[in-house]
Structure 1
Amino acid sequence: MRIPFTKMHGLGNDFVVLDARIDALPPLGPATAAAISDRRTGIGCDQLIVLQPSDVADFQMRIFNADGGEVEACGNASRAVALLHGSKASVETGGGIIAVEPMGDGARIDMGTPRFEWDAIPLAYAMDTLTMPVAWENLENPCAVNVGNPHVIFFVEDGTAIPLERLGPEIECDALFPERINVNVAQVTGPASIDLRVWERGSGLTRACGTGACATAVAAIRRGLVSGRQVTVTLPGGPLDIEWTEAGRILMTGPATTSFIGSFEWTDYA
């Protein structure tokens, strides 16, 4: 069975998109998702995205990290999917229904409202999520925010000095985070600007993480580290514009593009 795919990326965070809204795919499990995502023996991507019908939105977006684990949300993939769909749409995700709108060479995504309760992150036990009384070496007192998926954010003087490739997997898998966690290291560079590096749960260091940018902007606004409710978050792959509206919604605007299209034999990865 030959399966068409579209390879896309948002700021270098790359995806293999399978469109099963009309023609259904065979059953897809973690092993197949990981095999397709493998950069040496598969097509290669940070996330595998599967589009399929939905009973509650225009369509559903399922998201598999490179390790094969299914996750709730992906901001960069949402922009890519908006571009692929070509018009405004409501999209069902594991983290809730989002609204996507293509704009020029990218898209604006209404990511919904953030959650701050300790059991909504979730954490293993109750604590203040605005200034958490925990530390890993020099990374201390982070914020925790759930924006459809869970994030912990550390504000530091120099984000490039943090050995995130070493501390990221340790924090991701700490017992404090029963569903693991995305790890963000943020440096405030101006009244409305932040530099950000992200260790992404199940994928590792990434050039860009849309939900990480959203969570970091919200955390900075809550802490009063930036002025106003609009922030430009610059990741290694480039900038995203994040607005946390007075109504509590997170709006993310940024680019996405198609890299190439192709097809593969399902049995090669099943």
Structure 2
Amino acid sequence: MRIFNADGSEAMMCGNASRCIGKYLYEYGLTSKNVITLDTLSGIKILELHLEGRTVETVTVDMGIPLETGTIDFDGEFPFLSTQVSMGNPHLVTFVDDIRTVNLSEMGPKLEKHPLFPDRTNVEFAQITGENTIRMRVWERGSGITQACGTGACATAVAAHLTGRTGRTVNVVMDGGTLTIEWDEATGHISMTGPAVKVFDGTIELRE
């Protein structure tokens, strides 16, 4: 799987796209298996398809082990602490009391292109809204504000647990829907479970 952002840059991994790929392969008859191996720039991912008849309703993706976690304080430049997490691509997660107060259009690009991140970073702002429930909004590197981000949801879950805010299994609620994220204590692997919904069929003409 290869993923390209809105600005033409290539993404290392996309959790939402991996679920869509699983649904596409099965429902269009390109595989009859409900467990699929997916090769990405950030490594091999394992997809488990959850079926209702011949329809893929949800997909669980083994997202691997989170890397390069740490706290960023910006030396007082911003009035918050953030957690850096790599899910094969870089994320910066910041917890706030009320996510509605965050101007993501302003803060997103500032943090994405901050000198601390020479390769840029994805930016998540998150709020704990209940026991093991997180509300999250995302500014994606190369794309801007999006409705949801699978790797971002995973990074947010990791940051929440590392900072003592939640347990290892959480629901991450985004504008585009909810994902269930589980961080297995024994293996260290993150699993992401969520829906994949067909929007439309179409054709595109590719020109050299």
The secondary structure found in structure 2 opposite 1:264 is coil
- Partner residue in 2 for 1:141: 81
The secondary structure found in structure 2 opposite 1:195 is strand
Q: 2: distance between equivalents of 1:153 and 1:93? A: 23
Query: Are positions 1:245 and 2:184 aligned together?
Result: yes
- Partner residue in 1 for 2:205: 265
- TM (norm. structure 2) is 0.89
Q: CA deviation at 1:136?
A: 5.1
- Partner residue in 1 for 2:68: 116
The secondary structure found in structure 2 opposite 1:148 is coil
- Partner residue in 1 for 2:106: 166
Q: 2: distance between equivalents of 1:91 and 1:132? A: 32
Q: 1:56-67 alignment to 2 at 5 Å? A: 61-67=1-7
Q: 1: distance between equivalents of 2:161 and 2:204? A: 45
Q: Which residue type is aligned with residue 161 of structure 1?
A: T
**1:136, 1:171 within 8 Å by CA — same for their partners in 2?**
no
Equivalent of 1:256 in 184, 191, 196? 196
- TM (norm. structure 1) is 0.69
- Partner residue in 2 for 1:32: none
Change (3 A) 1:136 1:169: farther
The secondary structure found in structure 2 opposite 1:211 is helix
- Partner residue in 2 for 1:96: 43
Q: 1:48-63 alignment to 2 at 5 Å? A: 61-63=1-3
Q: 2: distance between equivalents of 1:200 and 1:113? A: 21
Equivalent of 1:83 in 10, 20, 23? 23
Equivalent of 1:235 in 174, 186, 189? 174
Task: Give deviations 1:77-114, integer Å, cap 9, x for gaps.
Answer: 11111111223111111111110111131200000000
Q: CA deviation at 1:259?
A: 1.4
Q: 1: distance between equivalents of 2:11 and 2:147? A: 18
Change (3 A) 1:230 1:262: same
The secondary structure found in structure 1 opposite 2:203 is strand
- Give the aligned CA root-mean-square deviation in angstroms: 1.3
- Partner residue in 1 for 2:144: 204
Q: Which residue type is aligned with residue 92 of structure 1?
A: D
Task: Report the count of equivalent residues.
Answer: 194
Q: Percent identity?
A: 47
Q: 1:212-227 alignment to 2 at 5 Å? A: 212-226=152-166
The secondary structure found in structure 2 opposite 1:262 is coil
Q: 1: distance between equivalents of 2:19 and 2:173? A: 16
Q: Which residue type is aligned with residue 85 of structure 2?
A: V
Task: Give deviations 1:181-227, integer Å, cap 9, x for gaps.
Answer: 0000000112211000000111111110010000000111111101x
Q: CA deviation at 1:137?
A: 3.8
Q: Which runs of 4+ in 1 moved over 6 A?
A: none
Query: Are positions 1:154 and 2:109 aligned together?
Result: no
Q: 2: distance between equivalents of 1:90 and 1:238? A: 25
Task: Give deviations 1:116-143, integer Å, cap 9, x for gaps.
Answer: 25xxxxxxxxxxx1x32215544x2100
- Partner residue in 1 for 2:58: 106
Query: Are positions 1:188 and 2:128 aligned together?
Result: yes
Q: Which residue type is aligned with residue 89 of structure 1?
A: I
